[in-house]
Each structure stands twice: as C-alpha cells, then as structure tokens.
C-alpha cells in the first residue's frame, strides 16, 4: 500500500506505493509523453486526462479540481505575489496528481511553494504542502524536516503530524510515527488520520484493526468525494491481502458505482478478476484504467496478467514501458529507485546492478518495505546470507504480508533450511492464496517439491 503518505502508500507500492506524477515543463513534458506513448503505447487510444475531462465520464472530482485550478490560475495572473493563492494552487496541483497521476504538477507546485515561503518562511500551510510534496517525491528526510517545522509553527495543526508520521514510517522510525498519528487523530479524526492509523495497524500485523480504521476512513468524509472513494479502494485492498476477494470486489465495484471510471477502483477490479483466473476481464479493467494515465504499477500488473495468460509478447510490451514512464517521474524529482529495483528483481534484470540500486534506496528509506526489496534483490543476485538478514528485518514488526513471507521462504530454501522455507511459504498461501500472479504458483510448486 503503492507509496508518499499512508494515504498514498497503497497506490505506490503497491503502495508499488509508485508515486504518481508531474512533468518539469508542461509543454516540453507533454511532448515527451506524447512521444513516449506514440512510440510505445499500444492500448487503445490514450485519453490524456487533461484534454478529455469536459466531455468524458471521468470522475467528477478530477473535473472539479481542474476547474478550481483554472480559476486560481486566472486569479493569480492578476495578483502574482499573493502567497495565499500560491499555496492554494500548489495544494490543488498536488491533489490533481493524486487524481490523474500527471507528474508535471509536482514541479508546478514546487515553484509556487518556494515563492510562498520566500515571502513568509513560517507560512504554516506552505510548510504543510511542502512536506506533502517531499513525501510524494520520496524525499523522506526532507519531508520530516518540513513536517517538524510546521509543528514548531503550530503544534495544534493535525496535518503537520501526518507529514511527520508518514516520513518516520518510510525512515523506519515506527514508534515516532505511531506517536505522530495518535496526535493527529486526537486533533482531527478524519479520512486521512483514520487511514494512517489503519496503515500503522497493518504494519504491526493487526489486520482486523486496520480494516476497522479504514472502514471509519470511508465514512469520515463525503461519500462521493475522491478521498472517501480512495479509502474505499484501500479497504478493498486490505480485504484482498487477507484472501477475501469477494469483499474486495464489492468495495471496488461500490467505488465505481459512486465514482465512474475511478482509475484505482478499475485497477482493483482488474486485480480481483486476475486472482479468479478471469484474465480477459482483468485485461479489460487494467486497460480501462491505463487509458486514463500510464501509471507504472498498473502497467506492470497488466504485464503480469498477460504473462499469466501465456501471452509473453504482450507482457513484454508492457514491461518495456516501465523504464520510459519512470523517466518522467525522475524528471520531476521523484525518487523511484526502490520501486524500480523491485520491478527489476521480479523480472531478473541486471541482478548485480539491481542489488546495488536496492541497497542505495534502502539507505535513504530504511523501512521494512525497503528491507524486503533489498532482500529480494540480493536473493536474485545470489547473495543468500545477506538476503536472509534483510528479510528478517522486513518481518520484524509482525506485518502480515504474503509477499514478504514468500520472499523469506525462498531465501530460507537457498539457505538450506527446508522446514523454515515450508513454514513461510505455507504462511503466504494461508494468508492469501492469490497474493501474486507471478509467485503464488511458485509457492505452491515449491511446497509440493518440499513435501516429496
């Protein structure tokens, strides 16, 4: 959950946590995107979200956000030094990224926030948005510093504690993160604070508590708002991750009922359909999602569905897109090394280089997810003893994550410890027999071999 704040994490690890983005210069990057998509994209005509908003059935929130952006741009053109308008517009840019995945708006927000803070370095709302931007770019040490400065300016502002907590999660400071989230929810029990409490409980292995908190997150805001709908999808992911596909699918569908063509709900439906072995419908849902924006997490997922369906040619076409799309994030200041290292490890790309990339990413982001990615990259590079060390770190909080159990099981097998390998692989499949299109079958086959 795929990662960003816990509000964004599921999307970015997914979450892949991949964070979703903006381009450095709108015209230049738009040209780059069109060139990339024109050369590589083969899904039916891509509707670049910004140009299709008015006439399409895209979600209402994205249309509303874009309208607000255009209105504020007009006002700011008449009052270019107005710091309040600068921060409001930057905030809308960050929301627009959440809704569309267009990374160019990170760069736009960055410029506006720098201007606002140059006017007043203690502008609370500029500090909060600067922290949110740093989280989205995976600059977690910077995010922590911005969050702490915001708390120093006003220790009663709940969002400042969210930034502090989010950054501490990604830096592996879990006690500090818990304290920040507890303070946040005591100040304002809204969708964002409940979602963070849910994520913290998930990290600590309390799945029932995580589901309870995320359920509250879905009810804390307007039911047809993007934030409530996002929480609804994350609740679906929590159910999926413990093998309850029926409940997950109901939540994804309810999200689409309220928010037609919501990209993350479409991808959730694709995931659920793939888990059921209905690859045609899974491909349909992922294509519907990707027609709106080429989010790397969902490109990879579509590739994995094609791979599972035996269509290796189409799978490779999807995988080939990932590097090109990643460059757009990098161009807009987003650190994607950890996500790219996991992708490369999963697809056996340059094992030694991938292990080095994962190690560097872990040094900047020493979370349990960073430890797991590094463990898996080391495994793929044949460094089994060190892989085991980092796998143990990845499991240190008691997180109930089938993929982490699978990684630990395969590493234990290479460490000549079949009983431990069997234990971890059984845990993975017991928790969620559909945890990965790529690896659930491997877990089943390996267990069968161990039973002989």
Query: What pLDDT is recorded for position 47?
Result: 25
178-204 pLDDT, tens digit each: 999 999 999 999 999 999 999 999 999
- pLDDT for the residue 63: 54
Condensed to tens digits (0 to 9), the pLDDT of residues 76-119 reads 999 999 999 999 999 999 988 877 777 889 999 999 999 999 99
List, for residues 322-381, the tens digit of each pLDDT value: 877 777 778 777 888 898 999 999 999 999 999 999 999 999 999 999 999 999 999 999
| Cβ 100 vs Cβ 292: under 8 Å | yes
pLDDT in tens, 6-61: 333 333 333 333 332 222 232 223 333 333 333 332 222 222 222 222 222 234 44
Cα–Cα distance measured from residue 219 to residue 119, given in angstroms and rounded to the nearest whole number? 38
Q: What is the mean pLDDT of residues 266-283?
A: 97
Kindly calculate the radius of gyration of the chain based on its CA atoms and give it in whole angstroms. Answer: 21
User: In the numeric block, which tokens belong to residue 316?
Assistant: 């490779």
Which pLDDT value is given to residue 331?
A: 79
Q: Please state, in angstroms and rounded to a whole number, the distance separating the CA atoms of residues 18 and 20.
A: 6
CA nearest neighbour of 296 among 99, 14, 22: 14
On whether the CB atoms of residues 325 and 348 are closer than 8 A, the answer is no
pLDDT at position 20, please?
Answer: 28
Q: What is the pLDDT of residue 221?
A: 80
Distance separating alpha carbons of residues 43 and 383, to the nearest angstrom? 38
Q: Other C-beta atoms within 10 Å of 219: how many?
A: 12
Q: Is the pLDDT of residue 220 over 70?
A: yes
Residue ranges of domains in the chain, CATH in brackets: 6-335 (1.25.40.10), 336-452 (1.25.40.10)
Q: With pLDDT > 90 as the criterion, what percentage of the chain qualifies?
A: 74
Spatial distance between the Cα atoms of 152 and 182, rounded to a whole number of angstroms: 17
Residue closest to 268 by CA, chosen among 233, 292, 301: 233
The pLDDT of 280-296, averaged and rounded, is 92
Look over the chain and give the mean of its residue pLDDT values, rounded to a whole number: 86
pLDDT on residue 401: 98
* pLDDT of res. 98: 74
């Amino acid at each position: 959950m795929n990662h960003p704040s816990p509000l964004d994490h599921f999307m970015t690890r997914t979450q892949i946590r991949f964070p979703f983005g903006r381009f450095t210069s709108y015209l230049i990057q738009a040209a780059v995107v069109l060139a990339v998509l024109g050369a590589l994209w083969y899904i039916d005509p891509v509707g670049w979200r910004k140009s299709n908003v008015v006439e399409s059935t895209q979600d209402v929130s994205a249309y509303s956000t874009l309208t607000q952006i255009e209105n504020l741009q007009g006002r700011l053109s008449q009052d270019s030094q107005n710091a309040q308008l600068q921060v409001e517009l930057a905030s809308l840019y960050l929301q627009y990224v959440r809704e569309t995945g267009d990374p160019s708006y990170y760069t736009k927000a960055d410029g506006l926030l720098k201007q606002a803070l140059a006017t007043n370095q203690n502008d609370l709302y500029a500090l909060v948005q600067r922290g949110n931007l740093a989280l989205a770019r995976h600059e977690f040490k910077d995010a922590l510093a911005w969050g702490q400065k915001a708390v120093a300016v006003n220790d009663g502002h709940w969002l400042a504690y969210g930034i502090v907590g989010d950054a501490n999660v990604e830096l592996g400071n879990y006690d500090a993160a818990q304290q920040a989230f507890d303070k946040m929810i005591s100040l304002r029990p809204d969708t964002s604070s409940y979602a963070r409490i849910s994520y913290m409980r998930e990290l600590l292995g309390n799945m029932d508590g995580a589901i309870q908190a995320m359920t509250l997150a879905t009810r804390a805001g307007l039911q047809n708002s993007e934030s409530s709908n996002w929480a609804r999808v994350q609740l679906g992911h929590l159910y999926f991750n413990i093998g309850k596909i029926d409940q997950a699918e109901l939540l994804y569908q309810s999200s689409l009922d309220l928010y037609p063509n919501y990209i993350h709900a479409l991808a959730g439906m694709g995931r659920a359909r793939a888990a059921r072995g209905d690859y045609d419908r899974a491909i349909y849902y992922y294509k519907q999602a990707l027609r709106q924006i080429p989010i790397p997490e969902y490109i990879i997922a579509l590739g994995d569905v094609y791979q599972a369906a035996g269509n290796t040619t189409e799978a490779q076409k999807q995988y080939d897109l990932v590097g090109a799309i990643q460059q757009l994030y990098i161009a807009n200041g987003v650190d994607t090394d950890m996500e790219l290292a996991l992708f490369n490890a999963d697809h056996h790309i340059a094992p030694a280089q991938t292990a080095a990339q994962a190690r560097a990413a872990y040094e900047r982001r020493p979370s349990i997810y960073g430890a797991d990615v590094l463990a898996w990259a080391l495994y793929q590079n044949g460094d089994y003893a060190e892989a085991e060390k980092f796998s143990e770190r990845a499991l240190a909080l008691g997180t109930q994550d089938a993929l982490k159990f699978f990684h630990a099981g395969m590493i234990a097998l290479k460490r000549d410890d079949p009983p431990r390998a069997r234990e971890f692989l059984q845990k993975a499949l017991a928790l969620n027999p559909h945890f990965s299109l790529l690896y659930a079958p491997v877990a089943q086959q390996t267990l069968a071999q161990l039973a002989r």
